[in-house]
Amino acid sequence: MKSSGCAHLGGLELEHWNSMRLKRIAAAAAAVALSGLSGVVLSSGSAAADPGCPNLYVVAIPGTWETGQDKHEHMTGPGMLAGVTHGLPSGTRVDYVDYPATAFPWEGDIYGKSKQIAVNHANGMIHAMGTQCPATKIAIVGYSQGADAAGDVAANIGTGLGAVTPNRISGVGLISDPRRSPTDVQVGPPAGGAGASGPRPGGFGFLSDRVRTICDPKDLYCSTKSDDFITRFAGFLTETSDPNPANMWRYQLEAGSIIGDLMSRGGIGTLQSQLTQGANKERVQQLEKFYGSGAHTSYGYYDVGGGQSATSWMHHWLAGMA
């Protein structure tokens, strides 16, 4: 675990690191290609916590390369979520989930395994707090791969399979969630399509009214067109890169959803048209443009309305729960 007390990254330093990490992702993505709403707190309000327990416990899951053994030497803070968790009201405790936060096989842990470790660690932290402090309310936030993990944790809790009961959760904040669903409540300009990895089967259950997601419409991680089947299949393969037999039912549902959409839009012919040399070249250009835009790493100043950035909006949202 990592405390929110870590030093806050400077803007220039973060931008420098983001530029380096995006170049790494762009190279890998090119290789693969060639083969509105404003939220309100809907919880029951501040908890009358037991002595020694926080009123609000925030579990924060950083994005890829923002934590873990391979964390860049210049990354001295919790990355994107620093703007969300820094300076929350007294009575709030924030703990960061430490996990590999890797994406590619040559980094040690493939994405599926890395994310599952984040899910397991977050579940353990939530369970421990839930047991020790029965009156403490809990919030979960995540960015990028961390939002992927945080959303899975919340989905399990919301459907009765999680570490605590749904009534313990005050809110779930997801920034650039690769599993964003078109039905999730969005803050800021509405993004089209869904996350690159496809929506979670069953959604968030009893937590649906307490989940807020933020996605820049130009961010392909959380905003992939429904007819971009190459990206959707790639996202599915990424999510299942460390398959768990217990989740076979979910994999079947997710694959069936993609195949069903494909068959309703031209079937194999449509897929073949997206694999031509010209289509691959166009996809590489699209990815290069996306990574060069910084859309995925600009949430510290991405405007969601009312003069607030994505991170400042989420900070004030959490502060209202404390």
Written as six digits, the tokens of 13 are: 């330093």
Q: What is the pLDDT of residue 49?
A: 56
Highest-scoring range by mean pLDDT, 12-21, 62-71, 220-229: 220-229
Written as six digits, the tokens of 99 are: 């996990």
Average pLDDT over residues 101-126: 82
Q: What is the pLDDT of residue 264?
A: 85
Model confidence at 68, pLDDT cuts 50, 70, 90, reads low
The CA distance from 167 to 146, in Å, is: 22
Q: How many domains, the chain? A: 1
Contact between residue 49 and residue 129 where contact means Cβ atoms under 8 Å apart: no
CATH code of residue 200: 3.40.50.1820
Q: What's the pLDDT tens digit per position in 93-109?
A: 999 999 998 765 445 56
Angle in degrees, CA 259, 247, 252, rounded to 5: 15
Which whole-number Å values give the CA distances from 313 to 45, 60, 229, 307, in the listed order?
18, 16, 33, 9
Q: What is the pLDDT of residue 20?
A: 43
The CA distance from 304 to 292, in Å, is: 21
Contact between residue 128 and residue 95 where contact means Cβ atoms under 8 Å apart: no
Of 19-28, 84-93, 263-272, the one with minimum mean pLDDT is: 19-28
Question: Is the pTM here over 0.85, yes or no?
Answer: no
Strand partners, 2: 96
Structural domain containing residue 273 = 2-319
Given a cut of 60, is residue 232 above it in pLDDT? yes
Pairwise pLDDT comparison (292 vs 155), residue with the higher score: 155
Average pLDDT over residues 199-211: 95
Given a cut of 70, is residue 207 above it in pLDDT? yes
**Residue partners of 186: CB distance under 8 A and separation at least 6:** 36, 37, 212, 213, 214, 215
Model confidence at 45, pLDDT cuts 50, 70, 90, reads very low
